[in-house]
Amino acid sequence: MTPGTRKRRQRQDKVTLSDVAQSAGVSAITVSRALRDPEKVSPHLRDTILRVVEEMGYVPDLAARALASKNSGLVGVISPGLASHVFVAVIRGIEDRVRSSDLRIQYASSDSDREDQLRQLRFFLSQNPAGLVHVGQMPDPAIDELLRRAPCPVVEIMDISRPPSDMVIGIDHRLAAETATRHLIAKGYRRIAMLGNGSDFRARRRLEGYQAVLEEAGLFDPTLVLSVDSHSSVGLGCHLLERLKSEHPDADAAFCQNDDIALGALFECQRRGLSVPQEFGICGFNDLEYAGFAFPAITSVRVPRYDIGYRAADMIIRAAGTGMPPPNMVDLGFQLVERGSTAREG
């Protein structure tokens, strides 16, 4: 071994908890307590320990922690839409709640691949996590069984329609779609289409709600349901509206599966010279920020995405603690935000 190699390896020696304790002049238990339960250590001592931790570059060994305690301190978040701006508010909610704890978050995007979801779940469970937050695509016996057998709290989020394997938080997507469709009927629209992408569980629940209301009113036409199994985009909304008006010139409104599609539909109406909302009404879903700033502003179903994330993380923290256990099902409700895109007169 050359001197240079010896020096390089010495620089890479890992700083241990005992090293930090020795430098700070306290016990290793005190250092551990300061990092995991800072409120149990005096402010002066905590500041001293944290300063030494920063100076020495100490990084906790999560694998060792998993062996020494009941979990690794990681919360796994598995979703098919991590890259979507729809999920950004959910992530922010999760992180805001976890930030004040000693837990850490690890994300995985499973897209719509069932086998990938199973691999991701098995990987997370192999790490002895403190909890799992899961956004599924469709009911699947193998995935459901893994979630039921998970040795940690599991929160399924976004839709509350199915009995949870452990806990669930979200909204009733079918009821939300029923509310939006009834709103369009009340505004005088009769040839109401549904424009969407994909066929995941939540999309199917919204389709069920849309269809049930229109059937009840004697207005349902299955040919007005247009869906493409692809990533959502404004461009897709343009394409679907163009296709709708080409195939059904008498269509006078659209309930869109999300706001991207609604905005694209609005753009296509403007390109065609269709007056919104007088000649064509548009309702979106999720109520993203831009929906309120489009012209005309887009009516949309507001989903409490930040609250879903925050409360999901809180449910895991409470379930893993010794305090009052969380409920196994939380319905956060939704709000139909009426705006100019459906403000039809007369």
Query: pLDDT (tens digit, 9 = 90+) per residue, 137-183?
Result: 777 888 888 898 888 999 999 999 888 889 999 999 999 999 999 99
DSSP structure string for 148-173: HH-SS-EEEEEE-SSPPSSEEEEE-H
Q: How far is CA 212 from the centre of its chain?
A: 27
**pLDDT beyond 70 at 60:** no
Residue 2 has pLDDT above 50, yes or no: no
DSSP structure class, residue 198: -
| Confidence grade of residue 5 (pLDDT, cut at 50, 70, 90) | very low
CB crowding 151-165: b at 16 or more within 10 Å, else e: ebbbbbbbbbbeebb
Amino acid identity for residue 238 in this structure: C
Rounded to an integer, the average pLDDT of 182-209 is 93
Which are the contacts of 54, defined by CB distance < 8 A and separation ≥ 6? none
Mean pLDDT over residues 130-140, rounded?
Answer: 85
pLDDT at 238 over 90: yes
Higher pLDDT, 12 or 29: 29
Task: Please write the tens of the pLDDT for every residue from 92-106.
Answer: 999 999 998 888 899
Average pLDDT estimate for 30-46: 79
Helix (H) or strand (E) holding 22: helix 17-24
d(CA 209, CA 215): 10
pLDDT digits (tens, 9 = 90+) for 81-94: 777 788 899 999 99
Round to whole Å and give the CA distance between 58 and 9: 17
In whole angstroms, give the CA distance from residue 177 to residue 20.
56
Per-residue pLDDT, 51: 87
Per-residue model confidence (pLDDT) at position 324: 67
Residue 4 pLDDT: 43
Say how far apart CA 1 and CA 5 lie, in whole Å: 6
Q: Does 110 have pLDDT greater than 50?
A: yes
140 in Cβ contact with 112 (< 8 Å) = no
Q: How confident is the model at residue 30 (pLDDT cuts 50, 70, 90)?
A: confident
pLDDT on residue 7: 39
The HSE-up count of residue 12 (CA atoms within 13 Å, CB side) is: 6
Distance from C-alpha of 172 to C-alpha of 209, rounded to nearest angstrom = 10
Of 87, 70, 48, 291, the closest CA to residue 170 belongs to 87
Spatial CA neighbour of 108 closest among 93, 127, 145, 68 = 127
Q: Is the pLDDT of residue 242 over 60?
A: yes
Average pLDDT, the chain: 87
> Which two three-digit tokens encode residue 345?
């007169």
